[in-house]
Structure 1
Amino acid sequence: MTEPKCRVAIVGSTGYGGVELIRLLLQHPHVEITSVISSSSSGVPIADGYPHLNQIMVEDLDGVDVAAMKEKADVVFTATPSGVSAKLAPQLLEAGLAVIDLSGDFRLKSPDVYSKWYKKEPAAQAYLDEAVYGLAEIFGADVPGKTFISNPGCYPTATLLGLIPAVQAGWIDPATIIIDAKSGVSGAGRGLGLSVHYSEINENLAPYKLNKHQHIPEIEQVLGRIAGREVTVTFSTHLTPMTRGILSTMYATIQGGYKEEDFIGLYREYYEGRPFVRIREKGRWPATKEVWGSNYCDIGFAVDERTGRVTILSVIDNLVKGAAGQAVQNLNLMMNWDEGAGLAFTPVYP
């Protein structure tokens, strides 16, 4: 007898994160997409806005209706702008639905910190406490059986996977961490804006939100959790003229005489059995194109014995490992399925 598939609904299906969820879940062996939802385009075929889904996804977009979602779905992915899920997710949870939230509304445990960085009204403290932070390779053991997962941000995913093993081992001084991160323009979403206008971004590399990016407190919160003390980092973000990808280049002072071979060995042991983190050989550093369209995070190292510092490089696809792919990974963990179900595909290259 065939086991019934898990029914999923996707709120925010007309955004890049939502449409990437559709791509991944359509070929997931245990999942059936029963509703694609948009507050702005309900009643319109989703292929009208995304012609690449023509004859693949023929459904019209549904409106945001909690009662209808309860009838159609078991799990709801909320791929919404910040501030929306803070109000919607509690309604879905109260209706008995499991929720995997891709927004930033439940990542920060302090409502005051959220208000300061996101400039929006925070969710109630009870729901902030309930949400499990789903950085799968680090906190994946917390996910099985839970019904409310907060999916990490794209920059924090690349950055934290690159830093946590060394911070936890005490091999680097957390007070010296500097993070230089670069992202493709899809991270800015599908909305229109001068900074993502073709004439502005083409053949250009531009810093933005220096010392003000909303992912800073998320990175510091998790590093503090790992280090057992407050951690403050310098975090700079840049927009690059490519569609997908994040390269996070991190610098820190080494505590001890560790060499590149040591870091490689530490990280390979730390991530042993985690299929989506790949550690590079000595002298080989990852590039965004090598993870394009995949759920992989590739990490490399360069130790400068002259300065006593290590450079850690981490790359991901911001829409997959940094959003939809990690959300599917969390669904797999939540349901006690194979962690790689629906995600076992190679990067697109070239």
Structure 2
Amino acid sequence: MIRVGIVGATGYGGCELIRFLLGHPQVKITWVSSRTYSDMEYSDVYRNYFQIVDQQCIDDHIEDYLEEVDLIFFATPQGVCAKTLTNSILEKVKIIDLSADYRLKDVNVYEQWYGIGHASPEYIDQAVYGLCELNRNEIKGATIVANPGCYTTCAITTIYPLVKAGLIDINSLIIDAKSGVSGAGRSAKIANLYCEVNENLKAYALASHRHTPEIEEQLGYACHQPITLTFSPHLVPMNRGILITAYASLNKGVTKQQVDEAYAMYQEETFVRVLKEGVLPETRNVRGSNYLDINYVLDARTNRIIMLGSLDNLVKGAAGQAIQNMNILFGYEESLGLLLAPAVL
């Protein structure tokens, strides 16, 4: 039985962690922490958990509660986990961080893109990037798992096979991405108010989105060279979901068979579904689940490939993948507690 604590339990990511962990047969949620709602019952914050999770939120002084847990999830904004971790904490528990604090290996890149100083760069090298389908062997022995972001999980997983196989011109890579509003978190922002978002579709953070270097770094590992790409995110008036459409020029002589063979790397994966020919990913088909759907279209006229991927930003893009990482860390079946079918409505 894994005893877990959740820091940032009252954000959307933390709430999804609880939803899935409640159905995990080998997990006990020992405590939930929230700076904003400290001392309140969790079910008073989210009333859907009435008589399900009625425990009181503790404060953020987690050192006082380390003996009670084996693993701590940080479902917190950038900077919180990095400021909190110490050697004494890491000697006692494993950490899965849902923020970007340990995703990027170059601390200067992190500080440039996130605009904050890194509080504990000494731990970056021991953190493992938690994209399960690509790094599960490294995850097994990790103390800190850097859980990937939602855009990044979708984009990297969708594009990675073709970069690894050398089938596309990496300098031509463009990613058009669209996200539901929950991707911006639960805190109040004018730009995310109902009247600002409803009946509206907008681009944001063009040429400057924080997930860009994360995508570049991970895809660079696949082809063993630096990558510079264009990433353009958009906000869609829906609660949850990510859809990415990526474009790249095919290298000379690349065939459909080669593309299919590249995507066959996911053939045995539970949560990455390469769809049937002609069936394109849609956000509704992965809603509320840990599945990521992929497909592609070859454009013979332009010699380009159009790659599409879709996931639920709160599940496979956050909490679900974090639980997948937990299962790997503790030697359980990777899909344990996560085989919830996508919701139709």
TM-score (norm 1): 0.96
Contact map agreement 1:220 1:232 (CA 8 A) in 2: yes
Q: What SS does the corresponding residue of 1:10 show, helix, strand or coil?
A: strand
Q: Is the aligned partner of 1:320 residue 2:315?
A: yes
Structure 2: any 5+ residue segments left out of the alignment?
Answer: none
1:333 to 319, 324, 328: 328
Q: What SS does the corresponding residue of 1:132 show, helix, strand or coil?
A: strand
Q: Is the aligned partner of 1:285 residue 2:280?
A: yes
| Residue in 2 that maps onto 1:153 | 149
Q: Across the two proteins, how many residue pairs are aligned to each other?
A: 345
Contact map agreement 1:264 1:279 (CA 8 A) in 2: no
Question: 1:257 offset after TM fit, Å?
Answer: 3.4
Q: Is the aligned partner of 1:301 residue 2:296?
A: yes
Alignment of 1:148-227 (within 5 A): 148-227=144-223
Contact map agreement 2:83 2:120 (CA 8 A) in 1: no
Q: Distance in 2 between matches of 1:154 and 1:260?
A: 28
Q: Distance in 2 between matches of 1:236 and 1:317?
A: 18
Paired amino acid for 1:312: M
Q: Distance in 2 between matches of 1:335 and 1:156?
A: 25
Contact map agreement 1:263 1:301 (CA 8 A) in 2: no
Q: Distance in 2 between matches of 1:50 and 1:66?
A: 22
Q: Is the aligned partner of 1:18 residue 2:14?
A: yes
Q: Share of identical aligned residues, percent?
A: 45
Q: Distance in 2 between matches of 1:91 and 1:189?
A: 29
Question: 1:124 offset after TM fit, Å?
Answer: 3.1
What do the CA deviations read for 1:257-311 (whole angstroms, capped 9, x no partner)?
33445423421x2112210000011111010000000000000111000100000
| Residue in 2 that maps onto 1:346 | 341
Q: Is the aligned partner of 1:110 residue 2:106?
A: yes
TM-score (norm 2): 0.97
CA RMSD of aligned residues (A): 1.2
Q: Distance in 2 between matches of 1:154 and 1:92?
A: 30
Q: What SS does the corresponding residue of 1:71 show, helix, strand or coil?
A: helix
1:47 to 37, 43, 46: 43
Question: 1:72 offset after TM fit, Å?
Answer: 1.4
Q: Distance in 2 between matches of 1:63 and 1:205?
A: 38
Q: What SS does the corresponding residue of 2:168 show, helix, strand or coil?
A: coil
Contact map agreement 1:108 1:218 (CA 8 A) in 2: yes
Name whichever of 86-95 and 209-218 sits farther off: 86-95
What do the CA deviations read for 1:161-198 (whole angstroms, capped 9, x no partner)?
00100000001111110000000000001111121111
Q: What SS does the corresponding residue of 2:92 show, helix, strand or coil?
A: coil
Structure 1: any 5+ residue segments left out of the alignment?
Answer: none
| Residue in 1 that maps onto 2:52 | 56
